[in-house]
Amino acid sequence: MSEFKMPSLGADMESAVLMEWLVKEGDPIQKGQIIAEVETSKGVIEIEVFEDGVVEKLLVEPETECTVGTPLALIRSEGSAKKEPSAKTVSTPEVKVSAPKTEAKPVQIQKKEPAPEVRIKASPAARRKAQELGVDLNTLAPEVGTIQLKDLDTLTQDLDKGPSIDGMRQAIAKAMSRSNAEIPHYYLSVSINMTPALAWLGELNSKRSIKERILPAALLIRAVVLALAEVPELNGFWQNDNHLISKAINPGIAIALRKGGLITPALLDAQEMNLDTTMQSLDDLITRTRANKLRGSEITQQSVTITNLGDLGVERVYGVIYPPQVAIVGLGRIIDAPWAEGDALTVRKVMQATLSGDHRATDGRIGALFLDKLNQLLQRPQELL
Amino acid sequence: MTKDQIRQSIIKEIIQVAPDIEEGEIISDENIQRSLEIDSFDFLKILTALYTQLGVEVPETDYAKVDTLEHMAAYFLQRIEDLN
C-alpha cells in the first residue's frame, strides 16, 4: 500500500487545490494515468500516478487546498512494490496528436465593454465559492485572467482596489529571484549560418502537404536535443551541492501566453523523437499549454530550458536559468547578415545561439563544446531527420 | 467566392486558432503575425485550416504574399480563380 501525495509542481509551489478526482475507489490504475486535476498558480494541471495498482481510498474531497506532500489517496500496489519515482522512472505519456481545433475555448471575454451576460473566466471551484459567498464574479476584475479559488479572497477584499495578485507573475518572480541570487551564471554566444538548414527544410517542406510541414523551431529544438545528447553535462540539475545529469532530455520550451505570463512545459523524452515527432509533439504541447491542459510531469520534469524569442525579432537572448536546472539555451531571430566565406563576403541567414550556464555545475568549456556541436549539427541538417 | 467572403473566412480561422483575439484587432493592412502576436505554429495552423476550407495550399515561398489580411484575401482569391 502506498500513499499518493500532492506532488510539488514547481519549486515555488507550497500548496494546490485538488479540483477533481478522475478515478474512484476500487478503480484499477496504471503508471502514467491521469487521476486528478489540481489548480495551481500555473493553471489547472492534470496529475499522474507513478505505479500500477488499485485505488484503495480517496483521502481528500474535491476543492480542498492541500500542501505539497499531503496524502491524497491510498494505492494498493499490484505485484512487486515499487519505490518512489525518480526522474528516470517517470512514465512517458504517449504523444497525442494535436487536439481538434474545435477544442479552442468558445468563451471569449470582451475586454472593452463587458456586457452583463459575458461569462467571466473562473475555475469551477472559484465559481462555486463565489456563489456561496453571494459574490457576482462579473463585479470582480476580469483582467487578471482566470479567477482561481485562492484569488477569490483577495479579490473580494480588494474590490475597490482593482486587480490583485497574478499567481503566475508571483511564481516567476520567486523562481527568477532565487536564480539570480543563487546561480553564478556564465554566458556564451555563437553566430550560426542557418542558410544550409533553412534551404534543406524549404526543400523538404516543398514536397510535403501543408499538414506535414516542419517549422524551423522544431528543427532547432531537434538540433539542441542532439547536441545535449553529446554534451550531457548541461542537461540536468544542481541539487544539494551536487551536479546530477539527467538521462532523459526534457527541454522546457518557453511559451508566452498572449494574455501575459510564460510557461515552460517539458517536451518529455525528446531524445527519443525524430524530426517529425518533435514537430508533432511541440505543436501538441503548445496547443495544450494555451488550452490549460498540461500534465503534472510536463511542468515538473524539465531538465533544461530552450527559449526562442526569434518570433519577436530579438536577435540575442541571454536567459536566466530556472533552478534547479543548470542551463538555458537562447535562440534569436534569424536575420540576413554579412558572412565571410573564404575570401568572399556574402549574405547568409544568421542566428545567434546563446547559452547561459550554471558555473557551479559546468565551466565555459562545456558550454562552448555544446554551442559548437549545435552549430555543426545545423550545418548538416539532413542528419536531423 | 468573393474577396469579402474570403476575408471573413480568414478572420474566422484566426479567431479559431487564437480565441483571445477580437475581430476588431485584426487590421487589414497590418502584418498578421507581428500585430497579433501569432507565432509560426499558429500561423501554420491558420493556413492549414484555410487549406481545408478553400482548397488552396500556400507554399512557404509565398509567405511574403500573405503577410496582411488584405494581401492574404487577395492571394486566395487569385489562387481560387486560377483553379477554375
Confidence at B30, pLDDT banded by 50, 70, 90: very high
Which pLDDT score is estimated for A246? 96
Which pLDDT score is estimated for A104? 38
**B40 touches A at CB < 8 Å:** yes
Of B20, B33, B44, which has the smallest distance from its Cβ to A213's Cβ? B44
Which residues in chain A are closer than 8 Å to B51, comparing Cβ atoms?
210-211
pLDDT tens track for B15-24: 999 888 888 8
Domain-wise residue ranges, chain B: 3-83
Which pLDDT score is estimated for A201? 96
Instruction: Tell me what ipTM this predicted complex has.
Output: 0.89
Contacts of A319 by beta carbon, 8 Å cutoff, 6+ apart: A305, A307, A328, A329, A330, A354, A356
Of A202, A211, A256, which has the smallest distance from its Cβ to B60's Cβ? A202
Count CB atoms within 10 A of the CB of residue A117. 6
b/e map A308-342, b = 16+ CB within 10 Å: bbbbeeeebbebbbbbbbbbbbbbbbbeeeeeeee
The dihedral sign for the CA sequence A218, A356, A10, A125: negative
pLDDT tens track for A66-86: 888 889 999 988 754 444 444
Whether omega for the bond prior to residue A323 falls within 30 degrees of 0, making it cis, is no
Query: With an 8 Å Cβ cutoff, are A216 and B40 in contact?
Result: yes
- For chain A, domains (ranges, CATH) are 2-77 (2.40.50.100), 124-165 (no CATH), 184-384 (3.30.559.10)
> What stretches in chain A show pLDDT beneath 50?
80-118, 141-143, 157-165
Best of B15, B17, B34, B41 to disrupt the A interface (most A CBs within 10 Å) is: B41
| Minimum CA–CA partner of A201 in chain B | B60
Of the two residues A184 and B34, the one the predictor is more confident about is A184
First to last CA, chain B: 11
Query: With an 8 Å Cβ cutoff, are A101 and B49 in contact?
Result: yes
Which residues in chain B are closer than 8 Å to A311, comparing Cβ atoms?
33, 39-40
The CATH architecture annotation of domain B3-83 reads Orthogonal Bundle (1.10)
**Exposed/middle/buried for A376, CB within 10 Å: 0-12, 13-18, 19+?**
middle
Asked if A123 contacts A148 with a C-beta cutoff of 8 angstroms, the reply is yes
% of chain B beyond a pLDDT of 70: 100
